[in-house]
Amino acid sequence: MLKIYNTLSGKKEEFRPKKGKTVNLFVCGITPYDFAHIGHARTYIVFDMIVKYFKEKGYDVFYLQNITDIDDKIIKRAKEKKVSVWKIARDFEKEYLKDMKTLKIDSVTKYARATDHIKEIISQVERLLKKGYAYQLKDGIYYDIKKFKNYGRLSRRTIIQAEDAVSRIDEAKEKRNKGDFCLWKLSKVGEPAWPSPWGDGRPGWHIEDTAITEKYFGPQYDIHGGAQDLIFPHHEAEIAQMEAISNKSPMVRYWIHSGFLTVKGRKMAKSRGNFITIKDFLKKYSPRLLRLLIIKNHYRSPIDYNEKIILQTKRELERIDEFITKVKNQKSKVKTTTQNLKISNFQTEFEKAMEDDFNTPKAIALIFNLVNKGNSLIAQNKLSPTEAKKILNFLKKVDKVFNFILWEKPKEKIPKRVIKLVKIREDFRKKGLWKMADKIRINLKKMGYWVTDTKEGPKIKKG
Ligand SMILES: [Zn+2]
């Protein structure tokens, strides 16, 4: 039985989706105005892992993620760079998707851009106005938080506490309450705008999510995820919008929030300038390392990023790699029936850990326990071929969820002319023309390729 910590109740709850084995999950996506950093990577690795676990359990998951491709930050960046808003939004979206691919985050069913859902957004604003939850000022339409009686329930804040956190788009002196947020902003000259019943403008931040989720999932769905800093005001506002429109509660059954990636205890953020982009990280380290680094920590705990934990994770990855090579290559003469390592126990324990609110630190510890025990059996020549096979199968299964263990090394492309030269050299060798063969070997070396002769024939290696 899977238990998930639900931010809404503040407790671990048994997971029961709305409909059979279907899971509808929405996670807040990026605002493409700059390169994504490893704090973003944490959020998306966490939800990738969660979705993969659901799939392993036989659930049919629809994982929806939005892209906020219209926003103050994009407009500002476009002005700074003297390019169009669309150039900024599309270029950084492309870079983000490339990063996700490198990190093997491939579980998202659909990425939905805000600007592809303007019709749905306008429809939600219209319904909120009609029901009296929204009001018009001269610069746009605002949500009246005092009209929604459950405002503050998710973040456990009172209306007064809610007053402080408003962004620039939400600023308007005439607002009814300080915490009221903007649903539709009438645009200034030169800003991107869409026609609406209230004049040309653009959507506020919170409304795009509910417009998108209503379109694909309806007014109620299973899981909403995101980083912890989105609980307020963003997710609070989403509930206020959707539940006011639909009169149905709860909008979302389970709210899952991932912890921060901090640097010296402070949250990694663009605005603080203490961030490391995914691209810069990957110049020095492998994407596998980032996945392990994230997954070995519990998704709700903070991770403080520093050189020490990177090196430690690197060593852990090497230990796993060495172990797998050993298991694959060991030629034990132990009887196949010998069972010194009860691998089924590891399987059970792994599931138990994951069922407890995705306790990945426990699951990772289990893998190292297996590595230790396996290594000691190999050293004593006590690991049977059957068990070796079982170990590999177990790791394969784990990797369907974690996806950092069994990556194939990227195959080096050997140029055709190199392959041809190696063949010619082989012919010389067969004929006993050693000098000629050696000449080719030296030439290949100059080209940056090493040839080693093995029983199975020549092997080519670069570098
Ligand atoms: Zn969002």
Q: Could you tell me the distance, in angstroms and rounded to a whole number, from the CA of residue 99 to the centre of ligand 1?
A: 20
- pLDDT at residue 368, rounded to an integer: 98
Q: Could you tell me the distance, in angstroms and rounded to a whole number, from the CA of residue 31 to the centre of ligand 1?
A: 10
Three-class SS of residue 261? strand
Spatial contact of 43 and 226, defined as CB atoms under 8 Å apart? yes
Q: pLDDT tens digits, residue range 75-104?
A: 999 999 999 999 999 999 999 999 999 999
Q: Could you tell me the distance, in angstroms and rounded to a whole number, from the CA of residue 294 to the centre of ligand 1?
A: 22
DSSP string, 138-160: TTEEEE-GGG-TTTTTTTT--TT
Which of 155, 149, 142, 156 is closest to 186 using CA atoms? 142
Three-class SS of residue 180? coil
Q: Which residues are CB-contacts of 34 (< 8 A; sequence separation ≥ 6)?
A: 77, 92, 270
Residue 303 pLDDT exceeds 90: yes
Q: Could you tell me the distance, in angstroms and rounded to a whole number, from the CA of residue 157 to the centre of ligand 1?
A: 19
DSSP label of 19? B
Report the largest interatomic distance among the alpha carbons of the chain, rounded to a whole angstrom: 94
Residue 323 pLDDT exceeds 70: yes
DSSP label of 194? B
For 7-16, letters b (16+ CB in 10 Å) and e give bbeeeebebe
Q: Could you tell me the distance, in angstroms and rounded to a whole number, from the CA of residue 457 to the centre of ligand 1?
A: 57
Cα distance between residue 110 and residue 65, in whole Å: 6
Residue 168 pLDDT exceeds 60: no
Cα 313 to the center of its chain, rounded Å: 19
- Residue identified by tokens 């980083």 is 227
Share of the chain above pLDDT 70, in %: 96
Q: Could you tell me the distance, in angstroms and rounded to a whole number, from the CA of residue 359 to the centre of ligand 1?
A: 25
Q: Could you tell me the distance, in angstroms and rounded to a whole number, from the CA of residue 112 to the centre of ligand 1?
A: 11
- pLDDT at residue 358, rounded to an integer: 98
CA atoms within 13 Å, Cβ hemisphere of 309: 15
Residue 161 banded pLDDT, cuts 50, 70, 90: low
Q: Which residues pair with 255 in a beta bridge?
A: 224
For 74, the enclosing helix (H) or strand (E) is helix 72-81
Average pLDDT, the chain: 93
- pLDDT at residue 290, rounded to an integer: 97
User: Angle at which helices 236-246 and 205-217 pack, to 10 degrees?
Assistant: 50
Q: Could you tell me the distance, in angstroms and rounded to a whole number, from the CA of residue 220 to the centre of ligand 1?
A: 16
Q: Could you tell me the distance, in angstroms and rounded to a whole number, from the CA of residue 224 to the centre of ligand 1?
A: 9
Q: Could you tell me the distance, in angstroms and rounded to a whole number, from the CA of residue 135 to the centre of ligand 1?
A: 22
Q: Could you tell me the distance, in angstroms and rounded to a whole number, from the CA of residue 222 to the centre of ligand 1?
A: 16
Residue 57 pLDDT exceeds 60: yes
Q: Could you tell me the distance, in angstroms and rounded to a whole number, from the CA of residue 209 to the centre of ligand 1?
A: 5
Residue 462 banded pLDDT, cuts 50, 70, 90: confident
> 11 phi and psi, to 5 degrees?
-140, 160
Residue 14 banded pLDDT, cuts 50, 70, 90: very high
- pLDDT at residue 370, rounded to an integer: 97
Q: Could you tell me the distance, in angstroms and rounded to a whole number, from the CA of residue 28 to the centre of ligand 1?
A: 4
Residue 345 banded pLDDT, cuts 50, 70, 90: very high
Exposed/middle/buried for residue 402 (C-beta within 10 Å: 0-12, 13-18, 19+) = buried
Q: Could you tell me the distance, in angstroms and rounded to a whole number, from the CA of residue 40 to the centre of ligand 1?
A: 13
Both structure tokens of 70: 């219209």
Between strands 201-203 and 181-186, the pairing is antiparallel
Q: Could you tell me the distance, in angstroms and rounded to a whole number, from the CA of residue 210 to the centre of ligand 1?
A: 9
Q: Could you tell me the distance, in angstroms and rounded to a whole number, from the CA of residue 436 to the centre of ligand 1?
A: 67
Q: Could you tell me the distance, in angstroms and rounded to a whole number, from the CA of residue 316 to the centre of ligand 1?
A: 35
H helix intervals, 356-411: 360-379, 385-402
Q: Could you tell me the distance, in angstroms and rounded to a whole number, from the CA of residue 234 to the centre of ligand 1?
A: 7
Q: pLDDT tens digits, residue range 395-454?
A: 999 999 999 999 877 666 788 999 999 999 999 999 999 999 999 999 999 888 888 888
- pLDDT at residue 454, rounded to an integer: 84
What amino acid occupies position 62? F
Three-class SS of residue 431? coil
Residue 50 banded pLDDT, cuts 50, 70, 90: very high
Q: Could you tell me the distance, in angstroms and rounded to a whole number, from the CA of residue 286 to the centre of ligand 1?
A: 29
- pLDDT at residue 159, rounded to an integer: 67
Both structure tokens of 216: 């694909």
Cα 131 to the center of its chain, rounded Å: 37
Q: Could you tell me the distance, in angstroms and rounded to a whole number, from the CA of residue 399 to the centre of ligand 1?
A: 29
Q: pLDDT tens digits, residue range 185-236?
A: 999 888 899 999 999 999 998 999 999 999 999 999 999 999 999 999 999 9
- For residue 259, count other CB atoms closer than 10 A to its CB: 18
Q: Could you tell me the distance, in angstroms and rounded to a whole number, from the CA of residue 290 to the centre of ligand 1?
A: 24
Cα distance between residue 192 and residue 46, in whole Å: 34
Q: Could you tell me the distance, in angstroms and rounded to a whole number, from the CA of residue 215 to the centre of ligand 1?
A: 15
Three-class SS of residue 450? strand
Q: Could you tell me the distance, in angstroms and rounded to a whole number, from the CA of residue 340 to the centre of ligand 1?
A: 50
Q: Could you tell me the distance, in angstroms and rounded to a whole number, from the CA of residue 293 to the centre of ligand 1?
A: 25
Q: Could you tell me the distance, in angstroms and rounded to a whole number, from the CA of residue 65 to the centre of ligand 1?
A: 9
User: Angle at which helices 416-430 and 434-446 pack, to 10 degrees?
Assistant: 160
Read off the pLDDT of each residue in 369-377 and give the average, rounded to a whole number.
95
Q: Could you tell me the distance, in angstroms and rounded to a whole number, from the CA of residue 166 to the centre of ligand 1?
A: 15
Residue 239 pLDDT exceeds 90: yes
For 304, the enclosing helix (H) or strand (E) is strand 303-304
Which of 406, 376, 388 is closest to 330 using CA atoms? 388
Cα distance between residue 323 and residue 315, in whole Å: 12
Q: Could you tell me the distance, in angstroms and rounded to a whole number, from the CA of residue 413 to the centre of ligand 1?
A: 42
Residue 331 banded pLDDT, cuts 50, 70, 90: confident
Both structure tokens of 328: 């694959």
CA dihedral 159, 160, 161, 162 (to 10 degrees): 50
DSSP label of 115? G
Three-class SS of residue 280? helix
Q: Could you tell me the distance, in angstroms and rounded to a whole number, from the CA of residue 64 to the centre of ligand 1?
A: 11
Q: Which residues are CB-contacts of 84 (< 8 A; sequence separation ≥ 6)?
A: 78
